[in-house]
Amino acid sequence: MHFAGMMHQILLVKRFFRDSRGNFATGLVVMLLPMIAAVGAAVDFANMNRERSRLQSALDAASMEIAVKVNSGLSDGELQALGDKLLKANLASVHASADNIPSLVYHGLATENDGSQSLRTESSLNYTYLIPRSIGGDGPSSTSILVRSRITSNNGDTACVYALNRAAPRAFEAAGSTTVIMDGCVIASNSSAPDSIYVGGDASLEADCIQSSGGIVATSGLITDCEQNRVNAWRLPDPWGDLVEPVPPILYPNPKAGDLTVSPGRYRNLDLSGDKTLEPGLYYVEGSLSVKGTVTGAGVTIFMADGGITVNGNGSLSLSAPQTGDYAGMLMMSARANASSHLFNGNGATDLNGVLYFPYGDLTYNGNNNGTSSSCMRIVADTIKMSGNSNIKSDCSAELGGREARVAGPFYFSM
C-alpha cells in the first residue's frame, strides 16, 4: 500500500508539471498576443502607406491625362475609361492579382463660385490585414484605401483677342502680311483643333502670351513674353454670356447723305456714308450696318440684332465705348442668336476703343488697311481672322467699364 501510495503521488506530480507546462505555454501566448498584434499593425501601417502612395501616384498620373484631354471632344464616360485604363496599367505591375486592381471614378469638371474650375477623381483599393483587427480573430480582415485627386485651374490672364468657337480649325488666324500687336494681354482660342491658333504667311503676332484649348501652329513671326505658350488649356465660359441684350428703342429713319450727326435709336440696314458723328448712346441695328465714310463718336454702343457689320472701301472708324452704364466698355456687340459675319475691310484707318463682342459671329479684319491704333480694344468673337496688310495695335492695361475677358489659368494639383 505504501508503494502504491508513493506511485500515485508521483503520478500526481508529473501531471502537475505537465499541466504547468501547458499553462505556461498558454500564458506565454496570451502575453505575446499584444506584441504580435502590434507588430502586425506596424507592418500593415507600412504596407498600407506604400499601397496608398502607389495608388495616389497612379491616380494623379491618370487624372493629369484626363485634364489634358478635357477639350478633345471625349465624353465624360470616355474620359473615365481613358483614365481607368491608364490607372490599371500603372498598377498592374505591383499587384499580382488582377482582381485587386482598382478602378478610377471621374467626377467631371466643375466651375466653382469664384470662377475657378476643378477636375476630381478617386479610386479605392481593398487591403487585407496580416492579422484580423481583434484578438479573438473575429474582427475585420480587410479595409478600403481611398485616394482622391483634384486638379484646379484658376482664372488666368486677360485676353485682348478671344475666339470662343470650341472646334473650328484656325479659330484665330493671323495670315498674309498683317501685324498684330497686343500689349498687356493674351491672345486665346477655345477651339480644341490642332491648329486652333494659326499664324502663317508673313504675319507678325505679338502678345504677352498665346493660349489655345487645342494646338498652336506658327510658321511665321510669333513673339510672346511668357516662358511658354499654352496648349490644351481649359476653357472658361463666354465672359459676357449673362449680359442682358437691349430692348429695341424707337425706330428712326436712316440718316441722309448730307447729315453730319446721327442720333442713337433703332435702325434697319443702317448705311453710314460720308462724314458722320454718332452721338453718345445705344444704336440698335436690325439687318446690316455698312460703313463707307468717316465715322466718329464717343460713348457709343452698336448692337447688331440679326445682321453683320461691313466696313468697305475708304471707310474709317474712330469710336469709343461708354465708360458707365449697362453697356460700359461695349463698343460693338451682337445678339446671341446672330451668327452673321462681320468684315472690316478696305483702306481706311480704324481707331476702336472698347469691346467688339460677337459670340456667334465671325470677325474678319483684312485688306490694305492703314492700320488700327487703338488705346484699348478687346475682340471676343466666335472665330477671328486678321489678314492682308492690316496693322492692329491695342494697349489696354486698364479695362474699359471694368469688363474683362479672362482665360483659364494653367491647371495644377490642389487639395
Count, in order, helices (H) and strands (E) of the chain: 2, 26
Residue entry with cell 510658321: 219
Phi and psi angles of residue 235, each rounded to the nearest 5 degrees, phi first: -95, 150
Measured between its terminal Cα atoms, the distance across the chain in Å is: 87
Phi and psi angles of residue 21, each rounded to the nearest 5 degrees, phi first: -65, -40
Residues 64-123: pLDDT tens digits?
A: 999 999 988 899 999 999 999 999 998 876 654 556 689 999 999 998 877 789 999 999
Using 70 as the pLDDT threshold, list the residues of the chain that sit under it. Answer: 1-40, 93-100, 132-139, 313, 346-348, 367-373, 391, 397-399
Residue 348 burial class via C-beta count within 10 angstroms: exposed 0-12, middle 13-18, buried 19 and up: buried
Residues 13-59: pLDDT tens digits?
A: 455 445 555 554 555 545 555 655 566 677 878 888 988 999 999 99
pLDDT score, position 5: 52
CA distance 141 to 130: 8
| Opening angle at CA 114, ends 111 and 120, nearest 5 | 35
Name the amino acid, one letter, at 173: E
pLDDT score, position 10: 46
CA distance 41 to 268: 81
